[in-house]
Structure 1
Amino acid sequence: MDPVNIVALLLLAGLAAYMQTLTGFALGLIMMGGIALASIMPINEAAILVSFLTIINAVQVLAKGWRDIAKREFTLIIIPSLFFLLVGYWLLGLLLGSSVNWLKLVLGIFIVISSIQLLMKPTPLEKRSSAGSFVFFGSLAGLMGGLFSTAGPPLVYHLYRQPLRLAVIRETLVAIFGLNALLRLGTVTFTGQMPSGGFWWSLLAIPAVIMCTYLARRFPPPLSPVALRRLAFVLLFLSGASLVIPAFFTLVAVN
């Protein structure tokens, strides 16, 4: 990896960690999108790097913020999420490229429409959703995480609609994504798909993640709860678009 790519990677990692710390998600969205646009490294290696950085960010955020985790919601989400992450990872090896792209297109469109709806009405629900809904969205998130390394959208959509403090939503998301990343990293290692050679230079991004996570916790921007929810929904829209656009152009090129 040349020095220019390393600098670009450090900047991306810092921005991604800052946004993840503020909203509870977006590290994968910013890192994967930026790496793909700048062609910094292969996408499969980028997904592994994102897992490393997500774990680092989660450990740092939760060192003090673990008390804010919504324990009931976390438990309802994490068990099906981890199970279906493995299912998604297994399905990825079975599906044809066209099938994966059609799935990305449909899910991405759903996410984009949902984010627009939430942007128009950023106020939360009056009461918490049922236990079954958390299990459902946890399962969907795990499946998407295994297939596309993108577990965030279903959980962000569901949790940001709940009448919970933003700190509770943020820390719960960070904890879930941290455990998901740990399991995915373990799965990659177990199946012998861990990259070698130049990949390890990308871990120089870890200090940037640590520094920007600290800055976001110590000096957060002066945003109101409504503004922060809108920011989360804009990022949700971008995560949907990041699924739709590549899948659409791939399918058009094939046809």
Structure 2
Amino acid sequence: MELMTLLPFIAIIAFATYVQTVTGFALGMIVMGAVTTFDLVPIAFTSVIISAVTFINGLVAIKGNTKTLDLKRVGLTCAGMFPAIMLGLLLLDYMSEEFNHILQLLLGVTIIGAGLMIMLKPEPLKAPSSTAMFAGSGAAAGVMAGLFSMAGPPLVYLFYRQPFDLKTIRLCLVSIFLLSAVARTGMVGAQGGLTMDMLIFSVFCIPMVTLFTWVGKRYPPPLSNTNMRRFAFFLLIVIGASLVLKNI
């Protein structure tokens, strides 16, 4: 990868990691949207890097907290998600070659939808959702994970509606994202889609993610949680709208 591509990519990773640390979401959407908007590298390349970053983040978050997990719901969600990841990858391979503009337009619409969803504050349900709901949301997330390495929006909305402890919800989501990253990377590798550039850049990202996670924890911006959500919402809408306008 050329230096003029590597440096802005690293800057985007650093910024997105900081935002993720202080808001709890949006890393994948910011990285994918910004990198694609500026035409730094293809969507398929960016997806692999996001998977690597998600994997590292998940390992750190879950360590020592496994007893808090709701393994049943994690398992149900992954049962629907894993087959759908392959479907998303097949769509990515096909659209990257034949319909790249449509793929970028779809990415923009997805990011705008995700931005709108993070502003919603759904009321918790009185009882957990059905098995089919977890599996179905997992399938929807799997397609998004396969296409863009962005499994978050449908799962975040579903899990935050559950009558679970907040820590359990967050750890379940982190665990699912980690497993999604492992599954997606394994599938891409089996297809022969991993390159040396991807692997090398993933290694470069590890210290960057670690550093800006620490910076986010130590030096959060002087904003309330509500204003941080508004900032993330505004950022995602701008990125998504840029992609949509660029490809209309």
Could you tell me the TM-score, scaled by structure 2's length?
Answer: 0.77
| Superposition deviation, residue 89 in structure 1 | 1.4
**1:151 correspondence with 2:148:** no
In the other structure, the counterpart of 2:67 is 67
Aligned equivalents of 1:66, 1:8: Cα separation in 2: 36
Partner of 1:183 in structure 2? 183
Deviations 1:177-221 (A, max 9, x none): 111111111112111121235872463221021233345567777
- Whether the aligned pair in 1 keeps the contact of 2:23 and 2:229 (CA below 8 Å) is yes
State the alpha-carbon separation in 1 of the partners of residues 172 and 229 from structure 2: 15
- What is the distance in 2 between the residues matched to 1:94 and 1:38? 22
Q: 1:70 to 1:180 in 2, by over 3 A?
A: same
Partners of 1:202 and 1:57 lie apart in 2 by 13
Q: How many residue pairs get matched? A: 244
> Does the 8 A contact of 2:32 with 2:47 survive in 1?
yes
1:68–1:168 Cα contact (<8 Å) kept:
yes
> Relative to 1, partners in 2 of residues 1:171 and 1:114: Cα closer, same or farther, differing over 3 Å?
same
Task: Give 1:69 deviation, angstroms.
Answer: 2.3
Paired residue for 2:124?
Answer: 125
> Is the contact made by 1:101 and 1:248 (CA closer than 8 Å) also made in structure 2?
no
Determine if contact 1:6/1:202 at 8 Å carries over to the other structure. Answer: no
Q: Name the counterpart of 1:246.
A: 243
Within 2, Cα distance between the matches of 1:164 and 1:239? 28
**Residues 22, 170 of structure 1: 8 Å contact kept:** no
CA–CA separation in structure 1 for the residues paired with 2:108 and 2:219: 38
Deviates more, 1:5-14 or 1:188-197: 5-14
2:144–2:150 contact (8 Å) kept in structure 1: yes
SS at match of 2:203: helix
Q: Deviations over 1:36-94 (max 9, x none)?
A: 34444443222211111111111111113333323232122111111211122123345
Distance change in 2, residues 1:236/1:85 (3 Å): farther
Residue 163 (structure 1) aligned with residue 163 (structure 2): yes
Which ranges of structure 2 fall in alignment gaps of 5 or more residues?
Answer: none
Q: Sort the Cα spacing of 1:155 and 1:200 in 2 relative to 1 into closer, same or farther, 3 A.
A: same
Amino acid aligned to 1:189: G
Q: CA deviation at 1:99?
A: 6.3
Within 5 Å, which residues of 2 pair with 1:98-117?
100=103, 104=107, 111=114, 114-116=117-119
Which secondary structure does the structure 1 equivalent of 2:65 belong to?
helix
Distance 2:82 2:88 in 1: 10
- Contact kept, 8 Å, 1:101 with 1:247, in 2: the verdict is yes
Instruction: Give distance in 1, aligned partners of 2:45 and 2:229.
Output: 26
State the Cα distance separating 1:21 from its structure 2 match: 4.5
Tell whether the 8 Å contact from 2:52 to 2:202 is kept in structure 1 after alignment.
no
Q: Percent identity?
A: 32
d(CA) in 1 for partners of 2:28 and 2:69?
21
Contact persistence 2:105–2:243 (CA under 8 A): no
Question: Cα gap change, 1:101/1:215 in structure 2, threshold over 3 Å: closer, same or farther?
Answer: closer
- What is the TM-score normalised by the length of structure 1? 0.75
The letter of the residue matching 1:213 is: T
> CA-atom RMSD, angstroms?
3.5
CA change 1:63–1:140 in 2 (3 A) is same
Shift of 1:155: 0.8
